[in-house]
Every structure is written in structure tokens, then in C-alpha cells.
Amino acid sequence: MYDTILVATDGSDPATRAADQAIDLASTFDADLHALYVVDTRRYGSSMMADADAVAEDLKEQGQEILADIASRADVDVTTDVRSGQPSRQIGDYADEIDADLVVIGNRGLTSGGEIGSTAERVVRYVNRPVITA
């Protein structure tokens, strides 16, 4: 049913639940699992990010640590990637690049309240692939 699964994470509790779901699904369907972390340049402003290499590197390292944790918990091989930009757009682009059969994402992220987060909503609305939110 699923050959390629993408889980997008920001390290939040909902994203961790999403990663757990993606790991279980990849194991069940013997699917390729990809984990993606996007440094949200909108949060910090593109001009600030362009001038602050140390900040960008810290955020990328944080993303790599989060992705390494996902890979260490999985019983399948995990391909990881860290990108920069608008998260929903980067998630959609990456899903297209790997021809993902399913995208798994937390229902809200680090900055969301009790409702569905803006990134999750954009992914559900605009990514042309099945999406599960956790």
C-alpha cells in the first residue's frame, strides 16, 4: 500500500507522535522512510538568516539531532534531510522529489495552540498526496 513515506518534524510533541506513526507504518508496509526537518526562515526572517550563519548552523544541527533520534528509533532505514525555507512548501517539494505515497506530520508544531497548526493545515490543503496528522 505504501512504498515511500515522508515524515516531517520540528521536534514538537505532535511531530514526535507523527514520527512514531510513520515508523510503525514504514515497518508494517516495509516502506522506505524519509524524515525531513525544515529550518523555517519565515520565523526568523530571511534577511536575518542570510546574515547569521551561526544561527542557521545551530538550527540545522538541531534538526540533524532530531532526525538522528528518529532514525535511531526506527527498525527500518531512514533517509534524512534538513532544508531551509517555508516548511509547507519544502515538505511538498520533498514529497514530490521522492514520490511519497504518504506524508505524516504533527497536527501542530512548536508555536501552535490547541488547533491545527498553520503548517499542518497548508500541507493538508496543498500537498497533492495523502496526509496523516498525528
The torsion angles phi and psi of 121, rounded to 5 degrees, stand at -60, -45
Residue with cell 524519509: 34
Residue with cell 526568523: 44
DSSP string, 62-92: HHHHHHHHHHHH-SS-EEEEEEEE-HHHHHH
Q: What is the pLDDT of residue 52?
A: 61
> Taking the model in full, what pTM does it have?
0.89
- Domains of the chain by start residue, with CATH: 4-133 (3.40.50.620)
42-66 pLDDT tens trace: 765 555 555 566 777 888 999 999 9
Report the chain's terminal Cα–Cα distance, integer Å: 19
78-129 pLDDT tens trace: 999 999 999 999 999 999 999 999 999 999 877 656 688 889 999 999 999 9
